[in-house]
Amino acid sequence: MPDTRIIDAKVIVTSPGRNFVTLKITTADGLYGIGDATLNGRELSVASYLQDHVFPCLIGRDADRIEDTWQYFYRGAYWRRGPVTMSAIAAVDVALWDIKAKRAQMPLYQLLGGRCREGVTVYAHANGHSIDDVLDSVAKHRELGYKAIRVQAAVPGVRDAYGVPHGDKPYEPADGTLPREEAWNTPKYLRFMPKLMDAVRTKFGFDLSILHDGHHRLTPIEAASLGKSLEEFQPFWLEDLTPAENQESFRLIRQHTTVPLAVGEVFNSIFDCQRLISEQLIDYIRATIVHAGGITHMRRIASFADLYNVKTGSHGATDLSPICMGAALHFDLSIPNFGIQEHMPHTALTDEVFPHAYTFTNGLMHPGEAPGHGVDIDETLAAKFPYKRAYLPVCRLEDGTLHNW
Ligand code: KDG
Ligand code: MG
């Protein structure tokens, strides 16, 4: 019998262009597994939660008991849920699944029940300072093979639209040593969006899946109005139109539009989407492995969603490390109600720090056949890039009122 006791756990914080927090767990029989613990803009809280509060209870536990360990850290904390706690639990969970699959000498998706599809359909980002820029970016992504593309453009007369890069740098929202202040105007955005969608459909037709992220900036009635105005362009989904703390607000949007709705990148628990799912107020749940309790909890969310015809559409921005991406691809491949997966490629340097088995071909990603989740960390290289404080921006209306972002 292998000795599956956990004998070591450590947190690795590295910043190869942006911050990532990684948990590494080692067992007595010499296996190790890694999990992503990155919480954009609040990275060190999760690092401390793991080191100060999880590690003392983790050492000596049986790495094979994944569900029991999940329950232990969820119930045992007394203070349930929340992004910091759930990211820490996710990191432990993913590291343990990695170890179990390595011990079984199987790619993780095989342990999760095997594949339900040939590959994972992913969507790319086309961002631009103008409609023409966006059209160029859509064309480039189509050439790369993407079948689904999210479009975000600067809104004329609005200083900061969501998802648009500043200057020539690749889009990276956490870009300030203090939070940058953005200025926003909803009526201008609502008037502009049909023009953007129309231009994309006119140039590329209707075979391409087009997505858009509203990034929580609308009220429910504004969201309903946007949905109505974009229906004729048949978007694949409209994401995060309104904040979802109040799950009932989606009922109002639903009464007015048949546009598919996606929400949940900031969710960390099944209870954040219980009503959204059971009342079929959304079509895609965007919760993700690293922020919603790992593979164990995401499987629970997906199974619940499956009962109500809600599909998954996990968050996959660059602040989720390649470890999260690898784990997500195994999960996506193995569940029946997968919808789509976001793919925002990491920089070459990040890919060097996190060597991985996953691949992209012709619009589909595949997690690869390496035992475990197939992502590793080069600790020597990681040590060369120390943590750099970086905040997400805050958003204000033009009169200075603090708004949603
Ligand atoms: O950490 C926040 C980012 O991940 C977020 O701004 C990206 O909204 C986002 C998306 O849909 O990728
Ligand atoms: Mg989003």
Residue 165: per-residue pLDDT: 79
**Is pLDDT at 163 greater than 90 in this prediction?**
no
Q: Whose CA is nearest to atom 10 of ligand 1?
A: 317
Q: For residue 215, indicate whether it is catalytic.
A: yes
Q: How confident is the model at residue 169 (pLDDT cuts 50, 70, 90)?
A: confident
pLDDT (average), residues 205-218: 97
For ligand 1, whether the C-beta of 43 sits within 6 Å is no
Q: Which ligand is nearest to the CA of 40?
A: 1
8 Å CB contact between 267 and 84: no
**Is pLDDT at 253 greater than 90 in this prediction?**
yes
The b-or-e profile of 293-315 (16+ CB within 10 A means b, else e) is bbbbbbbebbebbbeeebbbbbb
8 Å CB contact between 83 and 32: no
pLDDT (average), residues 59-76: 98
CA neighbor of 332 nearest in space, from 143, 140, 162, 107: 107
Q: Which ligand is nearest to the CA of 150?
A: 1
CA of 404 from ligand 2 middle (Å) equals 13
The single residue of 125, 141, 212, 215 carrying the catalytic annotation is 215
Q: What is the pLDDT of residues 362-400, one digit of tens each?
A: 999 999 999 999 999 999 999 999 999 999 999 999 899
CA of 163 from ligand 2 middle (Å) equals 9
8 Å CB contact between 184 and 160: yes
Residue 175: per-residue pLDDT: 84
Q: What is the pLDDT of residues 103-138, one digit of tens each?
A: 999 999 999 999 999 999 999 999 999 999 999 999
Q: Amino acid identity of 152?
A: Q
Looking from the CA of residue 150, the nearest atom of ligand 1 is: 11
pLDDT (average), residues 43-50: 98
**Is pLDDT at 73 greater than 80 in this prediction?**
yes
Looking from the CA of residue 174, the nearest atom of ligand 1 is: 1
Mapped onto helix, strand or coil, the DSSP state of residue 148 is: strand
CA of 68 from ligand 1 middle (Å) equals 31
8 Å CB contact between 126 and 170: no
Ligand 1 probe mutation, 216, 286, 315, most atoms within 8 A of CB? 315
Residue 404: per-residue pLDDT: 85
Ligand 1 probe mutation, 87, 164, 265, 318, most atoms within 8 A of CB? 265
Pairing relationship of beta strands 402-403 and 394-397 according to DSSP bridges:
antiparallel
Residue 164: per-residue pLDDT: 83
Q: What is the pLDDT of residues 263-278, one digit of tens each?
A: 999 999 999 999 999 9
8 Å CB contact between 92 and 294: yes
CA neighbor of 344 nearest in space, from 134, 95, 141, 167: 141
For ligand 1, whether the C-beta of 152 sits within 6 Å is no
Q: Which residue has the tokens 């992209």?
A: 360
**Is pLDDT at 168 greater than 80 in this prediction?**
no
Distance CA 124, CA 227 (A): 21
For ligand 1, whether the C-beta of 265 sits within 6 Å is yes
Looking from the CA of residue 215, the nearest atom of ligand 1 is: 8
Q: What is the pLDDT of residues 300-309, one digit of tens each?
A: 999 999 999 9
CA of 265 from ligand 1 middle (Å) equals 7
Q: Whose CA is nearest to atom 9 of ligand 1?
A: 317
Among 138-152, 162-176, 294-308, the range scoring the smallest mean pLDDT is 162-176
Question: Which element (helix H / strand E) includes 90?
Answer: helix 83-103
Residue 322: per-residue pLDDT: 98
Distance CA 22, CA 47 (A): 8
CA of 106 from ligand 1 middle (Å) equals 31
CA neighbor of 262 nearest in space, from 287, 279, 289: 287
**Is pLDDT at 207 greater than 80 in this prediction?**
yes
Q: Which residue has the tokens 């093979």?
A: 145
CA of 318 from ligand 1 middle (Å) equals 8
Q: How confident is the model at residue 65 (pLDDT cuts 50, 70, 90)?
A: very high
Mapped onto helix, strand or coil, the DSSP state of residue 6 is: strand
Residue 172: per-residue pLDDT: 82
Count of CB atoms situated within 10 Å of the CB of 94: 36
252 φ/ψ angles, rounded to the nearest 5 degrees = -65, -45
**Rounded to the nearest 10 degrees, how much is the dihedral formed by the CA atoms of 76, 81, 84, 88?**
50
Chain mean pLDDT for the chain: 96
Q: What is the pLDDT of residues 327-374, one digit of tens each?
A: 999 999 999 999 999 999 999 999 999 999 999 999 999 999 999 999
For ligand 1, whether the C-beta of 163 sits within 6 Å is no
**Is pLDDT at 170 greater than 80 in this prediction?**
no
The single residue of 162, 189, 284, 358 carrying the catalytic annotation is 162
pLDDT (average), residues 165-186: 86
For ligand 1, whether the C-beta of 342 sits within 6 Å is yes
CA of 377 from ligand 1 middle (Å) equals 23
**Is pLDDT at 166 greater than 80 in this prediction?**
no
